[in-house]
Each structure stands twice: as structure tokens, then as C-alpha cells.
Structure 1
Amino acid sequence: MAESREHVFAGVHGARTVREWPHDDPRYLVLLIHGYGEHIGRYEHVADRLVRHGAAVHGVDHAGHGRSEGERVLIEDFEDVVADVHAVEERARAAHPGVPVVAIGHSMGGMIAARYAQLHGAGLAALVLSGPVIGEWEAVPALLALDELPDLPIDPATLSRDLAVGVAYAADPLVWHGPFKRATLEAFAATLAAIAKGGTFGDLPTLWVHGEDDQLVPLGPSRAGIEAVRGTALTERVYPGARHEVFNETNQDEVLDDVLAFLDRALSQRG
């Protein structure tokens, strides 16, 4: 695996831990944006492929996630999370001036990346959304309608057809295995509404990848959300039988090959 290192910076609300997978002479930079309840360390194999493809990769543990400060999985405003990611981008750009930047987000990270593209898309060369929470995520209003949130963790079996992925997830001490926080669900609802009203991605090259059998973030509602914000340069890949974490699926090599081929095309269009 590619060598990595960590550093800590002052985020909007507390210390944030960033993992970097450096490259001495990168042809592009990647902002890797993780999902709900997890941490950037689960993306070692993704970062390794990207580094071997010529990227320097940077990923922050969000507030209340992984090694970053904050009450576990409590996010009261995703605009603050976007601001933290932007701070990571500015540091990466300072280290490699003039190198194009790509954002890759999974699940909740896909939602954050979509909002990021609306606010900072002029500075991006490409956008990759994996199983993004976008459009109508039915779990949010269903849970918010309850007087008391159930103490039900995410079912590891819904992540991948590779059962070892779920076993590792369930045993990972940096993964949150408890219930949602109401304030976090309210922040999800507010951000989904903001994205729906926030305009399209314009001509930003965008790749949307999704598992056909994604039971956590179902394909249909996400498709409606993508259609509402897609610009003029959308590429779509839906993988038959795949579950939620396509980067950890039994066909992960195919998925990552598709991501790298897309990035090659997007970067070549920049001249």
C-alpha cells in the first residue's frame, strides 16, 4: 500500500485529523471524502490505486468521526464539514500549486462532495460520487418522525457481497456502531434541501457510481437527486448486484478502473 502520514489542523469546530498519501510529482490532487460513521482509514486501497495513477490524496476525518474531535457522529451543519474539506484543499494546493483537484465522495461523503461542487466547483477538475446520499433519502424523514431514535447500527451485510468487508467494519473501533443523532439527521435534511436548490454542476466532469442492490442508499431516489443537479458532463455507472460500498465490492477492481479511466478523460480535456 502507498505510504501515508497524518496531521491535525483546527477545523471549524475542533481539531481535525487528515491523512495524506503523498506523491512527489502528482499530476492531480484528490480530496477523498468518507461516509457516515466511518473514517478515512477505510480507503487505504482506494488511495493506493490513486497514488499509483499519479495522484496525491488527502482525506479528513469529519467532525465526530475517526480520529477527529467532536461528539461521535454529531454533525449539526454540513456547511461546516464542507469548510473543513476546503481547508484541506487549500493546504494541498499550497503544496502543489497549479495541480488540478478532484473530489471523490462516498455515501454521506457523496452528499458533502455534491455540496462542495456547488460551492467550490470552479476550482475542481472532476467530481466522483459513489452511492451518494442525494435527493430523497427516505431514512431521514422516517427516523425524524419517531419520538425516540432506535439503537440500530448499520447492518454490515448491506455494505458488500464480500462478507469480509462487513466483518472488518463491525470490528473496527473507529467506526460508529450506535444510533443516529437527531441533530445529524436534521442536518442531513437541511443539506439535501440546500443541494436541491443549489444549482447544477455546470460543465464539471462528473462520474456517478452506484450499486444496483444498494439497500442503504437506494438507487432510485439517488437517481432523482442526481438528475436535479447534474450538469452537461455526467457519466453514470450502475453495477449489477453490487451493494452500497462499490469501492469494497467483489468487483472493486472494475469500479476503480472505471474511476481512473474517467479521471484520465476529465484531465485530458483540460489540455
Structure 2
Amino acid sequence: MKNLPNHVTILTPPPGTDIVGTIQFVHGMAEHRQRYIEVMNFFTLNGYVCAISDLRGHGDNITRMDDLGYFGEDGLNLLVKDIHDITLYLKGSFPDLPFFLIGHSLGSLIARVYAKTYDSFLTGLILTGSPSDSPVKGAARILIKGLSLFKGARYKSPFMGNLVTGPFSRKFPEDGSCNSWITADPQVWRKYDSDEKCGFLFTLNGYEVLMNLLAAVYSPDGWKLNNPALPVVFLSGEDDPCMTDMAGFLKAVQTMKDAGYINVTYRIYKNRRHEILNDYEKEKVFEDILEYLTV
């Protein structure tokens, strides 16, 4: 990655600021890297080099709009490879500095699958908006494969979209937006509503990769556990419908403990929704993450 592609953004601390570490962000489903510039700016002011890329099928990592929500064949492994490419770039550029991975929502799933193999590269792993395990993921994969036979992997199914995120969209009907579940701040979800590269339907391929990620994250298999002392932090809004309920959230936390990690903690933010980095009093979350990085 000598020449970074245009779907990758790297921000560095202001001149004269001591560089104390590097952070790679992994964004969520149906959004893009530009939505993380504010939080990245906060950390650069505190001495961290920050990097983020648009995931495959997102943002500027497409060749045409029809590519939104399409990860390609072997999408799960390609997503992990993309994250690792940037990790290697940061580690090569700043070899002696701590390296942290922050994954949100879909990005939190990718980050955990990444950690299954590459946890030795990480100084800390922070997960926000973690999706809880789904008992119907196996049936959903069978359904997706069946639909794909008739419609093709690139087909965008409103039925599948409603099945996956419909329950989230219906949680806050008083707001008048199907996307207000992401944050209580109307300025944020209104901007999200008007962004053509946010809130789009995944292709059948995309939903299959999502189910594969869930299956991999919540499976006890495949954890190499090269770094069992890795600090792992789960952060969630109390009103985040993506976590389903507290029992589902705690299962996510326990899964990492069961995998063998001995330093797993969590924090819940009252009256906050899915995107705690974009909700009211987000600065408190920024400060809390900074504290985790410097402990």
C-alpha cells in the first residue's frame, strides 16, 4: 500500500505534537469513512495517527453505485485482508508505537474475526455497537443461498433488508425516520437519511457475508489466541436495538472471555442508541476511549 487508494484516509497529529500511537477504525454497515472524521480529529489532537478505509461495497470503494452492499466472492476473507493491509501499513510506518483497532457495528464483527488470526498485532481492541448473535443466522444463510440461485448474488432484496434491520427501524416510530435508531440526535440521522451512500440495501452477497461474520464471531472455533492479555472493550448505548437485549450483549462479551481473553470489559451509556460516537454527549465517549488507550 505504498500509494494509498482514494477510499483510505489517514490523519496525523498537528506539527509539533508527539505521536503516541496509531488507531485503525472499521466503520459499520451501510455508511462510510467520512462519518468518522470528527472522532479521528479528536484522537489526532491527542497524539494518535488515525486511519480508516471504506469497506468493500461502501463509500468510495466501489466502481458504480450498484456495487453498494456487494463484497465479492469470499467476501469475509477479503474484508479481513483489507483490514490487515492497512494494519501492515501503519505498523510499517510506526513500528514502535502501540496499535489499536476500533470497530463499530459491522466493523466490530470484522474486527473480531480479524483478531482471531491477528491479535498479536493489536495493543487494544475496542468494539462499539456490537450486534448480538442471531439464532436464525443459519436459516437466513440457507434462505439467502436459495434466493441467490434465482435472483443472483447482486440482487437487493427488500425482504432481506426488512428481516435484518427492520426491527431496528421500528423501535423509534415517533421520530419519523427509519434510520433514527442509529442516534437520538436528529441532525445526525437526517444527514444520514439524505446521504445516498448511507442506509442502502445490501445485496444478497452482502447479507450472506454478514451472516458468515456473525457465525465466525460467535463460534468457539478458529481463535489462535496469540495475545490472551489483549485488552478488549465493549461499548454500547443502552437503547441500541442492535444489541437486542442485555443478555445478548453480555453473550458477546462472554464469547471473548470464552475464547481465552483475560482482560475483557464493557460499558453501557444510558439513553444512547447505536452510534455512540455520533450521539449526544459523544465527547464523553471519546474521552472514555482515550482513557482506555492510555491505561
TM range (shorter): 0.7 to 0.9
Q: What does residue 210 of structure 1 align with?
A: 236
Distance 1:179 1:87 in 2: 27
Report the CA distance shift for 1:8/1:56 in structure 2 as closer, same or farther (over 3 A).
same
Distance 1:241 1:160 in 2: 10
Q: Larger % of strand: which?
A: 1
How big is the alpha-carbon RMSD for the aligned residues of Structure 1 and Structure 2?
2.4
Q: Answer yes or no: is the 8 Å Cα contact 2:130–2:242 preserved in 1.
A: no
Pairing of 1:215-254 with structure 2 (within 5 A): 215-219=241-245, 220-230=247-257, 231-254=261-284
Greater shift in the superposed pair: 89-98 or 213-222: 213-222
TM-score for both structures, normalised by structure 1: 0.84
Report the CA distance shift for 1:160/1:138 in structure 2 as closer, same or farther (over 3 A).
farther
Which residue type is aligned with residue 183 of structure 1?
N
Q: Answer yes or no: is the 8 Å Cα contact 2:7–2:53 preserved in 1.
A: yes
Q: What does residue 67 of structure 1 align with?
A: 60
TM-score for both structures, normalised by structure 2: 0.78
Equivalent of 1:95 in 93, 96, 117? 93
Distance 1:164 1:141 in 2: 37
Equivalent of 1:180 in 199, 202, 222? 202
Pairing of 1:1-271 with structure 2 (within 5 A): 8-9=4-5, 17-23=7-13, 25-69=18-62, 71-76=67-72, 77-136=75-134, 145=143, 149-150=158-159, 155-175=178-198, 177-195=199-217, 196=219, 197-199=221-223, 202-219=228-245, 220-230=247-257, 231-265=261-295
Which residue type is aligned with residue 221 of structure 1?
G
In structure 1, stretches of 5+ residues that fail to align are 1-6, 10-15, 266-271
Distance 1:183 1:134 in 2: 21
Q: Answer yes or no: is the 8 Å Cα contact 1:157–1:166 preserved in 2.
A: yes
- Aligned to 1:238, the other structure's residue is in SS state strand
CA displacement 1:143-171 (0-9 Å, x = unmatched)? 97586543658622101111111001111
Distance 1:250 1:141 in 2: 37
Shift in Å, 1:264? 0.7
**How many percent identity over aligned positions?**
24
Distance 1:202 1:68 in 2: 33
CA displacement 1:151-192 (0-9 Å, x = unmatched)? 6586221011111110011112332x3323222221122222
Q: Answer yes or no: is the 8 Å Cα contact 1:165–1:248 preserved in 2.
A: yes
Q: Answer yes or no: is the 8 Å Cα contact 2:236–2:276 preserved in 1.
A: yes
CA displacement 1:28-69 (0-9 Å, x = unmatched)? 111110001111110111101111121000101011100112
- Aligned to 1:122, the other structure's residue is in SS state helix
Distance 1:75 1:90 in 2: 22
- Aligned to 1:67, the other structure's residue is in SS state coil
Shift in Å, 1:141? 5.2
Distance 2:94 2:84 in 1: 15
- Aligned to 1:247, the other structure's residue is in SS state coil
